Amino acid sequence: MQKKRWKLRPALEPQEQIIERSRKYGIPPLVASILSKRGVLDLNEYIVPGLDKLYDPFLMKDMEQAVKRIVSAIQNKETVYVYGDYDVDGITSTAILTHFLRSQGVPASYYIPDRLQEGYGVNCNAIEEIAARGATLLITVDCGISSVNEVEKAKTVGLDVIITDHHECKDVLPDAIAVLNPKRPDCDYPFKQLAGVGVVFKLLQALFIELKIHMQTLFDAYLDITAIGTVADVMPLMSENRMILKNGLERLTYTENKGLKALIQQADIGANPITAGTIGFVLAPRINAAGRVGDPKCAVELLLSEVDKSAEEYALFLDESNRSRQNSEQDIFKEALAMLEGDPQLKEEAVIVLAHEEWHHGIIGIVASKITERFHKPCILISLDETTGKGSGRSIKNFNLFTALSECQEHLVKFGGHELAAGLTVARDQIELFRQKINAYAKEVLQPEDYIPEIVIDAELPISYLNLNTIDKIAVMAPYGMGNASPVFVCRNLRVTAVRLLSEGKHIKLTLSDGRCTINAIGFSMGELGKTIGTKDMVDIVFSLDSNVYHGERQAQILLKDVRPAAAKLS
């Protein structure tokens, strides 16, 4: 197993303040302590993330201009096109905006570029095609912030453009009717980390205000879909994202959306509660598969379905596409590992950059994520055609991938993305120069410890606390995800009394005791520990807590994250 750094969060406040906050908000002292260490002090918003706390959408730069133009389109029944991205964020954004426009009597259509033929973002050929279909207004969702030339092209064919996006901005913004992006340097919107679908949700919120439509209609119709896009794009679950997800999960469980109902049934979730994990690992991959190995329009149509049979057919197609994606993903992953093993120099690079002619461009991003997880290094995988390569990258803490690509733009055709994930296009003859440049940059900004994964620990607990009572106390912190991780604990000086390997050695189950209490802990994909840990060993464990139902009985579950010999030093 890869070595990990353990870091215990320091106390930021005196214990008296934590106890007082615990009393004030009616939460357990353990939860108050964890949130204090994480710097979450506005517990009124955190503990009760009600939708009444959503920010005024008109605080976002250009919102008034966007609303005015769309209202005009509604009144005049103009042909409007929604231009989306092919990932879950883009698909959910496209679906909710298209549905709303149609509900207002607008002949709205949507356009999602083909991942393989057109690539990410707005392109001039698509603009010409949309204009030829009679459109007078184009609204981008989850894309467009870098489409300076494309917006100029739209003007020449009589097409007004509104940009809605959440990706990092470059020096020059498109000269559109409105550019909605909380990350604009000149935008004072209080929360900068909305997903693309979150920005569209704010646009709809503003339209509902302007058109005097009851806000509950917005929540009932679109909050479940918005929650899916927010989780799928790995946005930090704080502030408005937490409000969207917390309330969206409640609506998702009882959704009236025929497509979501069919997808939930096809995924065989059963009676299990729908959580952020359900979205991230069950629902989102199926929606995402359409844009990776199939047709993303099928996923949009699923969400727009008003007929049960159609919804069921789309859900079945997405399920089959997801299985195909999983098989291709495994093949690419094996090939990438073989390339690294065959060339030790590539494996030792600060940034792993690999290219291959036969890799599916729609899947390499997932594989890059798996390689980054395994080696804890930034990774960029490139799918090659005759003259160019289309790449997808994932990164680690302290290495802003968007900034890194900016430093290498002389070798790139185009690029865009976030701090931890980005896409690019590169000429084949520039790939080696790009690899050298980004590695040179990485050596300047990364320190040796950055390559060692870090486990941040919220608190130390005695073994007697590892029970359902503690699990229920910390449940107030859910939903968990990026920016609001499930609490992580350390427990020390435990004796291993039994070791059991599961699933042909893939997983491990340890029985541990402090001399008074005994627990079972499971380590998924940690079977290698069986080679180094035996009965009677003394260990410290880092873990999270969960519960499961076994033979109808709810039980505490200790999920191992790392195990060390006892007395491991914490930083």
Q: What CATH number is given to the structural domain containing 182? A: 3.90.1640.30
Q: What CATH number is given to the structural domain containing 347? A: 3.10.310.30
Last residue of a domain, one of 398, 423, 451: 451
Q: Quick check: is 115 in a domain?
A: yes
pLDDT tens digit sequence for 194-212? 999 999 999 999 999 999 9
Last residue of a domain, one of 194, 211, 238: 238
Total of domains in the chain: 4
Residues 6+ apart with CB under 8 A from 191: 55, 182, 239, 240, 241
Q: Quick check: is 365 in a domain?
A: yes
Same domain, 108 and 37: no
- Residue 177: name the closest of 209, 154, 194, 202 by CA: 154
CA atoms of 246 and 51, how far apart (whole Å): 10
Same domain, 420 and 490: no
pLDDT at 117: 78
- Residue 228: name the closest of 204, 192, 200 by CA: 200
pLDDT tops 70 at residue 291: yes
Average pLDDT for the chain: 94
Same domain, 435 and 462: no
- Residue 296: name the closest of 511, 54, 83 by CA: 83
Cα 69 from chain centroid (whole Å): 31
Burial class (CB in 10 A: 0-12, 13-18, 19+), 309: exposed
Residues 6+ apart with CB under 8 A from 531: none
The 3-state DSSP class for residue 401 equals: helix
CA atoms of 33 and 476, how far apart (whole Å): 13
pLDDT at 371: 96
CA atoms of 478 and 485, how far apart (whole Å): 9
Q: Please give the angle made by the CA atoms of 501, 507 and 513, to the nearest 5 degrees.
A: 65
pLDDT at 1: 61
Q: Which two tokens stand for residue 273?
A: 């509660």
> Does the predicted model carry a pTM greater than 0.95?
no
Q: Quick check: is 259 in a domain?
A: no
pLDDT-based confidence at 507, cuts 50/70/90?
Answer: very high
CA atoms of 348 and 333, how far apart (whole Å): 18
pLDDT tens digit sequence for 213-230? 999 999 999 999 999 999
The 3-state DSSP class for residue 39 equals: coil
Same domain, 16 and 66: no
Same domain, 489 and 566: yes
pLDDT tens digit sequence for 439-495? 999 999 999 999 999 999 999 999 999 999 999 999 999 999 989 999 999 999 999
Per-residue three-class SS string for 482-541: CCECCCCEEEEEEEEEEEEEECCCCEEEEEEECCCCEEEEEECCCHHHHHCCCCCCEEEE
CA atoms of 201 and 223, how far apart (whole Å): 8
Q: Quick check: is 447 in a domain?
A: yes
Same domain, 98 and 210: yes
Same domain, 33 and 144: no
Q: Quick check: is 100 in a domain?
A: yes
Q: Quick check: is 475 in a domain?
A: yes
Same domain, 114 and 203: yes
Q: What CATH number is given to the structural domain containing 497? A: 2.40.50.460
Same domain, 111 and 24: no
pLDDT tops 80 at residue 303: yes
Can you give the residue range of the structural domain that contains 224? 52-238
- Residue 528, amino acid: E
Same domain, 83 and 179: yes
Residues 6+ apart with CB under 8 A from 532: none
CA atoms of 18 and 310, how far apart (whole Å): 53
Last residue of a domain, one of 401, 436, 451: 451
Same domain, 465 and 387: no
Q: Which two tokens stand for residue 20?
A: 């007082």
Same domain, 400 and 489: no
CA atoms of 227 and 237, how far apart (whole Å): 10
73-82, 155-164, 290-299, 540-549: which range is least confident on average?
Answer: 290-299
By the 8 A CB rule, do 137 and 115 touch? no
Q: Which two tokens stand for residue 122?
A: 């707005």
pLDDT at 435: 96
pLDDT-based confidence at 179, cuts 50/70/90?
Answer: very high
